[in-house]
């Protein structure tokens, strides 16, 4: 299951809407081992295409270095499908190389209602997972360090 803050969901959807009809892509970094998405990192789609995306390689290295310095990993890797269902395409599956990441797809083919789905993709096998949107991780059961401080 992906547990994710509402503001991060809204940021992904806004990015997908902004770049529509081209595909938008990005990642959400979180502390290594936490499985908790925290830092929104929209990425350039080097392909600028309605049917394909690719992280810009130079930007990807820069972001990778930042994440290493912060002991972060890409907890979420997201992109949009602007004309088709938000289900991983054959190309998405062949490139999926982060077995610990949640692959989030945002469908923007309907101008009013977006569709957001999350998947694990491991060794070419796609498994959809539920998404729980929370206001804050304080009250969600995402880890032992989430107990609210004080009383």
Partner 1 sequence: MAITVSIPTILRTHTGGQKSVEAAGTTLAQVIDDLEANHGGLKSRLVKEGTLHRFVNVYVNDEDVRFSGGLDAAVKDGDNVTILPAVAGG
Residues in contact with partner 1 by the rule CB under 8 A: 23, 25, 27, 43, 47, 51-55, 57-58, 60-61, 64, 73, 77, 79, 88-92, 94-100
Hey, is 31 helix, strand or coil? strand
Cα distances from 146 to residues 40, 70, 100, 107, 151, in angstroms, run 20, 19, 21, 31, 14
Q: How far is the CB of 143 from partner 1 (least distance, A)?
A: 20
Asked whether 109 and 82 are in contact (CB, 8 A), the reply is: yes
99/130 with CB nearer partner 1: 99
Backbone angles phi and psi of 20, in degrees to 5? -55, 135
Minimum gap (Å) between residue 92 Cβ and partner 1: 4
Closer to partner 1 by CB, 116 or 137: give it. 116
- In the complex, the smallest distance separating the C-beta of residue 100 from partner 1, rounded to whole angstroms, is 7
In order of 29, 43, 49, 76, the CA distances from 62 in angstroms are: 13, 11, 23, 17
- Smallest separation, CB 63 to partner 1 (Å): 10
């Amino acid at each position: 299951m992906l547990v994710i803050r509402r503001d991060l969901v809204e940021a992904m959807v806004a990015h997908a809407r902004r770049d529509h009809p081209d595909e938008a892509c990005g990642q959400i970094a979180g502390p290594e081992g936490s499985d908790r998405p925290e830092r929104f990192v929209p990425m350039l789609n080097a392909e600028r295409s309605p049917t394909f995306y690719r992280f810009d390689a130079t930007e990807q290295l820069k972001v990778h270095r930042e994440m290493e310095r912060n002991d972060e990993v890409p907890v979420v890797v997201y992109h949009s499908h602007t004309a088709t269902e938000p289900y991983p395409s054959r190309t998405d599956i062949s490139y999926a190389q982060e077995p610990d990441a949640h692959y989030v797809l945002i469908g923007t083919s309907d101008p009013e209602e977006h569709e957001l789905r999350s998947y694990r993709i491991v060794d070419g096998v796609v498994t959809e997972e539920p998404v729980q949107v929370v206001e804050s991780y304080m009250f969600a059961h995402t880890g032992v360090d989430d107990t609210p401080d004080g009383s």
